Amino acid sequence: MSARLTRGALVLCGGRSRRMGRDKAWLPFDGERMLARAVRLASAATGAVVVIGRPSQNLPALPADVRIVRDDVPDQGPLGGLIPGLRASSADACFATSCDAPFLSAAVIDSLFDALGDADVAVAEAEGYVHPLCAVYRPRVRPVLERLLAAGRRRPVSLYDEVPTVRIDEARLRAVDPDLACLRNLNDEAAYTAALADALPEIEIELFDLARARAGTANTTVRAATLGGALLALADTHSGLVPDVLSAEGIPAPHWRVSLGGERFVVDRATPLDAETPLLLLSALAGG
Residues of this chain that interact with another protein (CB under 8 A) are 206, 208-210, 212-213, 243-245, 253-255, 257-259, 261-268, 280, 282-288
Query: How many Cβ atoms are within 10 Å of 187's Cβ, its own excluded?
Result: 15
Minimum distance, C-beta of residue 261 to another protein, in the bound complex (Å): 6
Which of 202, 209 has the CB closer to another protein? 209
Question: What is the residue type of 160?
Answer: Y
Instruction: Give the whole-angstrom CA distance, residue 282 versus residue 208.
Output: 5
Minimum distance, C-beta of residue 200 to another protein, in the bound complex (Å): 23
For the chain, helix (H) and strand (E) counts, in that order, are: 9, 14
Minimum distance, C-beta of residue 236 to another protein, in the bound complex (Å): 19
DSSP H helical segments within 94-218, as ranges? Answer: 106-116, 142-150, 156-162, 170-176, 189-199, 209-215
Minimum distance, C-beta of residue 245 to another protein, in the bound complex (Å): 8
Minimum distance, C-beta of residue 232 to another protein, in the bound complex (Å): 18
Query: How far is residue 154 from each of residues 76, 80, 81, 132, 133, measured CA to CA in Å?
Result: 7, 8, 11, 12, 14
**CA atoms within a 13 Å half-sphere pointing along the CA-CB vector of 16:** 6
Longest Cα–Cα distance of the chain, Å, equals: 75
Q: Which of 153, 150, 170 is nearest to 162 (CA)?
A: 153
Which of 30, 206 has the CB closer to another protein? 206
Which of 187, 271 has the CB closer to another protein? 271
Minimum distance, C-beta of residue 220 to another protein, in the bound complex (Å): 15
Minimum distance, C-beta of residue 263 to another protein, in the bound complex (Å): 6
Which of 118, 268 has the CB closer to another protein? 268
Which of 44, 267 has the CB closer to another protein? 267
Which of 222, 282 has the CB closer to another protein? 282
Strand partners, 206: 219, 280
Which of 73, 267 has the CB closer to another protein? 267
Query: How many Cβ atoms are within 10 Å of 212's Cβ, its own excluded?
Result: 17
259 in Cβ contact with 282 (< 8 Å): yes
Minimum distance, C-beta of residue 73 to another protein, in the bound complex (Å): 43
Instruction: Give the whole-angstrom CA distance, residue 88 versus residue 84.
Output: 6
Instruction: Give the whole-angstrom CA distance, residue 264 versus residue 65.
Output: 37
Which of 184, 212 has the CB closer to another protein? 212
